[in-house]
């Protein structure tokens, strides 16, 4: 599953608003729970 950010953004922009908001929330949670997040915030 190799998808670059540009492709991903294009696909997300084609989704309905509700689904977009949901994916944004999921992404936020994923970033917040990633090890790199703790490194950059600490």
Q: What is residue 32's predicted lDDT score, i.e. its pLDDT? A: 82
Quick: pLDDT tens for 12-34.
Answer: 788 888 888 888 888 888 888 87
DSSP 15: S
Give the chain's end-to-end CA distance (angstroms, integer): 31
**Better pLDDT: 10 or 3:** 10
**Better pLDDT: 38 or 17:** 17
Residue 42 pLDDT greater than 70, yes or no: no
Q: What is residue 14's predicted lDDT score, i.e. its pLDDT? A: 87
3 state SS of 25 = helix
Q: What is residue 2's predicted lDDT score, i.e. its pLDDT? A: 63
């Amino acid at each position: 599953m190799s998808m670059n950010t540009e492709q991903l953004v294009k696909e997300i922009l084609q989704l309905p608003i509700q689904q977009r908001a949901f994916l944004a929330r999921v992404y936020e949670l994923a970033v917040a729970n990633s090890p790199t997040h703790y490194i950059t915030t600490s």
